[in-house]
Amino acid sequence: MIERSEPDLPKRAPKSIELDGRKMPFQAGETILEVAQRAGVEIPTLCHDPRLEPAGACRTCLVEVEGQRRLLPACKTPAQDGAEVRTETERVDRHRKTLFALYLTDHPQDLEVAERGAPNQLLEMAARYEAPKDWGFMESLRDNRDADRNPYIHFNADTCISCARCTRYCEEVEGVSAISLAGRGAETTIATADNLSLLDTTCEMCGGCVDVCPTGAMGEKLPLTREAKPERELTKVRSTCNFCGVGCQLDLNVDPDANEGRGAVVKVTSPPAGTTTNDGNLCVKGRFAYDFIHHDERITSPLIRNDAGELIPTSWENALSVAAAGLHGVSERHGPNGLGFVSSSRCTMEENYLVQKLSRAVFKTNNVHQCAAT
């Protein structure tokens, strides 16, 4: 038998860039921003979202690349083998200070005005990079949509920076294109076709535009009308949406001082993109339908019927014992097929599995159904 050996092929070194003096490997298709984030190097950005195609609109992520005459947007520039990238230089620092100072010339700087809801990332970055605040001030020329009668989404044009994250999310993620950029220059604003209310457009009220907005220009109406605390003062509690069985993760924003110290859910926000199975996306129910939590008519304890047929509160232990006794009673009197089990699409997959297991394994009947199957 002739022995054949594989030829010794030269091993190709992985492609890499030099990032602030550090050699960083990268995968084909990665941008400078993605490589920097993986390396733990902070590059500011206001228009970037990992769910969206890079736009390079805000110009905050500009960096120096050896051999390039101009600063390049890190979010949109592909990493190239051997490139020398510098994110902290005098030129980059001067650009950031100038850019943020220009943004602030028609942007409210009072937190009570500019941060009524979500944190204002522009003000955070302007403070972090010590942008000058004495470049004068001019009134915003962008049009508001104060007359929009939709019950959920509010637009404050004064804090909008035209980064287009909201319009791009509406088009690229939701695929409905209910909002778009309108106007030119300093008058560029977020609008709908013929300035219709969102209720009269293709908008699904998912609130994704609220979630991606970096300045809070797109905000939620209910916390604003109720004069709730800004998001920065609330406590986030990770939970699972209960409106269907998909299991989307969400963050309950709790005011611990509300309800005489018992706490109250003020709003719902999305976890950061890329951290949960739903990738930070929620539907209209998951994001806005939370008033039931503190509703006066919400059932907060199990109920059983007394001898008079009236529903009365009881403990979980007693309620489960009564339910088990009732099921066994029906099975003894009418046989296993006298029972039927129906589970809900609001339950998780694991809960629905347990319902059918209870039906088939415990009570020996195949009379089990799930409401989503109809």
Contact 155, 205 (CB under 8 A): no
Homologous superfamily in CATH for domain 234-294: ADC-like domains (2.20.25.90)
Would you state the pLDDT for residue 11?
62
Helices within the chain (DSSP H only): 32-39, 90-104, 111-114, 121-128, 165-172, 208-212, 221-225, 284-288, 316-334, 349-357
1 has pLDDT over 50? no
pLDDT for residue 302:
96
**Reduced 3-state DSSP string for 272-327:** CCCCCCCCCCCCHHHHHCCHHHHCCCCCCCCEEECCCCCEEECCHHHHHHHHHHHH
Q: Where are the domains of the chain?
A: 16-88, 134-225, 234-294, 299-326, 335-374
Query: What's the pLDDT band for 144 if we cut at 50, 70, 90?
Result: confident
240-293: per-residue pLDDT in tens?
998 887 889 999 999 999 988 999 999 999 999 999 999 999 999 999 999 999
The architecture of the domain spanning 16-88 is: Roll (3.10)
User: Residue 36 pLDDT > 60, yes or no?
Assistant: yes
Least confident range from 11-15, 37-41, 324-328: namely: 11-15
* 134-225 is a CATH 3.40.50.1480 domain: no
